[in-house]
Amino acid sequence: MARKQQTGYFPHDTNARNSSKLIRLRMKHGAEGYGVYFMILERLRDEDGYSSPTDYDMIAFDLHVDTELVRTVVEDFGLFRKSEDGTRFYSSGFLHRMEVKDAERGQRSEAARKAIQARWHRNAEADTERIR
């Protein structure tokens, strides 16, 4: 049986649509613009460093939308920032959320590692006692 691949996850506020930046986006592009925004965040979730190349044609092809819509969502509403050389873009808010999430995951992973070591140590001691 094939192992199910874990789905990526990222937190977002349930009232995100009410931020002034997203209201302006929805005023201009409606639900389509809002959907493109969140699909871009989903793409960022899967990228190294949570940033994306500024290849709007490729992103538009992937999302099945017009290149100009992708460009305006990324550049016109203050939702994303570009790297100094302009070759990548990212969301500061998204980076912060993922840093918190990644730190929590690291803490859980470390706790699990310590629990496994403690269990292994207890089992090894019990085996030593049985041998004696």
pLDDT at position 48, please?
87
SS (H, E, C) 62-110: HHCCCHHHHHHHHHCCCCCEECCCCCEEECHHHHHHHHHHHHHHHHHHH
pLDDT at position 5, please?
45
Q: Which of 87, 80, 69, 6 is nearest to 33 (CA)?
A: 69
Is it the case that residue 72 has pLDDT exceeding 60? Answer: yes
Is it the case that residue 123 has pLDDT exceeding 80? Answer: no
Which of residues 82 and 111 earns the better pLDDT score?
Answer: 82
pLDDT at position 77, please?
97
Per-residue pLDDT reduced to its tens digit, 76-89:
999 999 999 999 99
